[in-house]
Structure 1
């Protein structure tokens, strides 16, 4: 295959070998030695492995990743602070979008590190068993990054070769070729990965199986999607659903038994590489998790309120669609486990005492007369057709809030990002069984998830019967379970429901969504850098 041309990737690879995956993995900073020397020692090669993991932090827990994976769907509208409306609302979206440029660079830099590691690991001096494990990790990570690439941009550049210098051509590869490599990489990784790890954040055998289940759903191999989902569910790996949905998001409970795979962040924020020319060669935007900033309404200008660590720093980027808020029935505790409607006085003034209700934002339509606190109901937030009326005040997605931050203005969070939870595998199995025509089995798996979601006294109302199971029902269920968890755009694309669901349920975005938006534009700076422009052209529909 031809090598790719990214003038920044060649340098990024040489610099990136000093990156660290997390505070859980022993760090090594080989100052003053070349990458060739690093590759040839077990200790140095571990640093390359850690660098391969670290690029997950460019997508997971980052504004660019949220804008690409949650926005432009049926679940979210732009808040007043949205900085990528061309991407999130499909308004004249082109290859100069900053989020798209950032993720393209990061994902291909990550692939290049994986390619380098795979090709060089035999010379690293590992004992055979450890070598096989580390090789399996690299194959998993390459598959993981390529899945994000092919789902985001379609059939773009595919290479299994290391880029060690500036190259001036790129290729367009078939989507089928991407998935052939992804499948091969994941099957190889499953052969050697351990079932558990003491280094939180490293991939394990069940995590690779879980991701393979997602991949098989994507390419329509429902039999194998079900096989790999249930192999984790029934595999005695120790995973179980948290008893209460809200407990998943407690900062003291991040390493819980429902999480199959996570991108972890260090409590030492300096280790998360916000700005460092050596540790973070692609720019300043990585750093720690910033998901906690994105979904918060503008509460700190309300009477009786000021910004604090408990309620978060409101960047006010994204707000829920009315459709999302209406998806949760009365007996579903996932609404309260996902959204915050009430803000309590933290800045007493006049008749408002500390701890009184200051603001109530509700999905209901209510009469606010006679109330001592401010009420913003559904009719205040949304127009009669569901279009946004107020971009500042709305129920706040509270899954990612971090009350352990050092100050109210701290933009970085040490919260880990859950990439795959056990709940996804139940719903993967349900979707696969639905497509295979086994509605009884599909309902069985859905009901396991809904049983956990049921409020006391609503257990029977939350159960579903086989006749209720449709693809749209499963997408509704995935919205209730995974809202905000950086999977929605991929779910809608995979099921062929992106256009129908967005046009029917997101009136702010539906009118601008077009057929070519099923893939994103290739960054213009990439197109400008190559010499074979006739062979490697912009994706159709973009300029």
Structure 2
């Protein structure tokens, strides 16, 4: 969605215990604004904006990709308590911030659902907007229930100060999620001219994900297959094509957060609503996974190579999942070579455009690098013997989210859309569902579609698998190869019951601190402190 409106977030009302003198210069009330089609449109549009707190944002990556088998901390990691479970507690600012924004989104959805009949819409528009609100409520509640479990649940608009919270079973959350998605699928349009809005296939795709989460494998397979075959989506010819800044709105994308090219409208800072100073803004995934290259010989920071925040580095396990001689996804996903762009610091004889840095997942010898002008970082320099991080500053870097179209080398914001659901996930959902139904041959067929797309020409046979290859671990490995960095990994490992096992096996940095209770996040301490029914609304087990 390209539009979001600040007025509505203010009008939906969050109270505090300070005594404030209120002044409303417009004279408008919530009832007045929401009783007109024009006013209600701002509510629906505002509902979508809460996606921007999660998708393409540092906090979202730290809570959904980090602390898994695929990543570990770079030297710039701001939240090691989250990403490596180092004394993770309720004071963590990531869980506090996302909790508040998700519940603000839920309240806005509830407000809209409760008021849409009085908005003055035509029947057709009312039906669509109501369906959008139900879809978005299901989407936001999924994040809440998976992260925090059976916490506060409501379907009613909050209009004043509430000092109590409830503890509601997880099954109740999912019952509502499924009811809301049924409304969405029944009433959403097949397509939209307003890129980023929910549609019927978007709702079906998300319901397929929910069915897989809840063990409804037959229904998950049917829904995923429907999205694959019935709505005109298609895989891009090359995996690398997905990540081109000139090709973001392509036929593989089922649903995305649409960040604007004009960064002024991406709402980076608003002192009233976003006092933390970085707010939502545009996509900042391009900052998070880049190694520190700009102080090495022959290099300086530029737009092409990106601004290195040095937050996250791939686990050695993730890198080793790829056969880069057959699978094009490795080269499309990771950057291993940097080329000289600064003669002032370059070694003698190095020219602009020559190789300046190579990072490799293999061990190299002195003989391999003898006579080379460029700097080499091999696996033994970057990773410890157990696979944990050793040099957390120089490493193979995720490049899927790079944005060479930014206006300057220091620009933190990117207009890159953040993909939430794409077609390849539907093939993987269908495959996992068929595997769980005992149909390994069908599962292999689905996976082979995306592996065929990923094959380097001439290596198609190397990429094909058979039913004998299909296991749950193989499917998780394939999801890693296809979806690394796309903010699904923590959900995948939790859904399959593999979070602790895979961390212990493949990610020694978070494994040093992970406890079984970390499959839920701590409820923010400011929430615990604020409620008056503390005996009923208690902290999740394991957290202080």
Same fold flag (TM > 0.5): yes
Q: What 5-or-longer segments of structure 1 have no aligned partner?
A: 1-10, 19-29
Q: Which runs of 5+ in 2 are unaligned?
A: 1-5, 14-24
Partner in structure 1 of residue 143 of structure 2: 148
Please point out which of 188, 210, 216 is paired with 1:215: 210
Q: Tell me the residue number matched to 1:164.
A: 159
TM-score (norm 1): 0.94
Tell me, in whole angstroms, the C-alpha distance in 2 between the residues paired with 1:88 and 1:369: 38
1:36 maps to which residue?
31
Give yes or no for the alignment of 1:299 onto 2:290. Answer: no
Q: Give distance in 2, aligned partners of 1:12 and 1:79.
A: 39
Shift of 1:169: 0.3
Contact 1:17 1:51 in 2 (8 A): no
* 3-state SS of 1:343 partner: strand
Structure 1 pair 282/410, CA: closer, same or farther in 2 (3 Å)?
closer
For residue 263 of structure 1, the aligned residue among 240, 257, 263 is 257
> Partners in 2 of 1:532 and 1:339 — Cα distance?
49
Cα deviation for residue 12 of structure 1 reads 9.5
Instruction: Tell me the equivalent position of 2:281.
Output: 287
Say which SS state the counterpart of residue 155 (structure 1) adopts. Answer: coil
**Deviation per residue, 1:181-212 (Å, 9 max, x gap):** 00000011001111111100101110100000
**SS of residue paired to 1:297:** coil
Instruction: Summarize the alignment of residues 55-454 of structure 1 with structure 2, pairs less than 5 Å apart.
Output: 55-235=50-230, 237-277=231-271, 280=274, 284-329=278-323, 330-349=325-344, 350-366=348-364, 367-454=368-455
- Is residue 484 of structure 1 aligned with residue 485 of structure 2? yes
2:539 aligns to what?
Answer: 538
Q: Deviations over 1:45-90 (max 9, x none)?
A: 0000010000000000110000000000000000000000001000
For 2:176 and 2:392, the matched residues in 1 are separated by 43
- 3-state secondary structure, aligned to 1:253: coil
Q: CA deviation at 1:521?
A: 0.1
- How far apart in 2 are the matches of 1:282 and 1:37? 31
Distance 1:216 1:478 in 2: 17
Q: CA deviation at 1:488?
A: 0.2
- Cα deviation, residue 374, structure 1: 0.4
Aligned to 2:508: 507
> Partners in 2 of 1:498 and 1:169 — Cα distance?
32
3-state SS, counterpart of residue 509 of structure 1: helix
2:487 is the counterpart of 1:493: no
Q: Describe the SS at the equivalent of 1:404.
A: coil
1:40-59 equivalences in 2 (<5 Å):
40-59=35-54
Q: Secondary structure at the match of 1:72?
A: coil
Output one character per residue of 1:107-129: Cα deviation in whole Å (capped at 9) or x when no partner. Answer: 00000000000000111100001
Moved over 3 A (4+): 11-14, 277-284
Separation in 1, partners of 2:408, 2:118: 47
User: Given that residues 86 and 513 in structure 2 are in contact (C-alpha distance below 8 angstroms), is that contact kept between their aligned partners in structure 1?
Assistant: yes
Cα shift at 1:516: 0.2
2: CA distance between counterparts of 1:436 and 1:14? 45
Give me the whole-angstrom Cα distance separating, in 2, the residues matched to 1:133 and 1:139. 10
Aligned residues: 521
**Conserved? CA contact 1:339–1:398, under 8 Å:** yes
Q: Distance in 2 between matches of 1:88 and 1:174?
A: 27
Question: In 1, are the aligned partners of 2:428 and 2:475 still within 8 Å (CA)?
Answer: yes
Contact 2:270 2:279 in 1 (8 A): no
Q: 1:23 — aligned with what?
A: none
C-alpha separation between the residues in 2 aligned to 1:270 and 1:276?
11
Provide the TM-score with structure 2 as the length reference.
0.94
Note the C-alpha offset of 1:534. 0.4
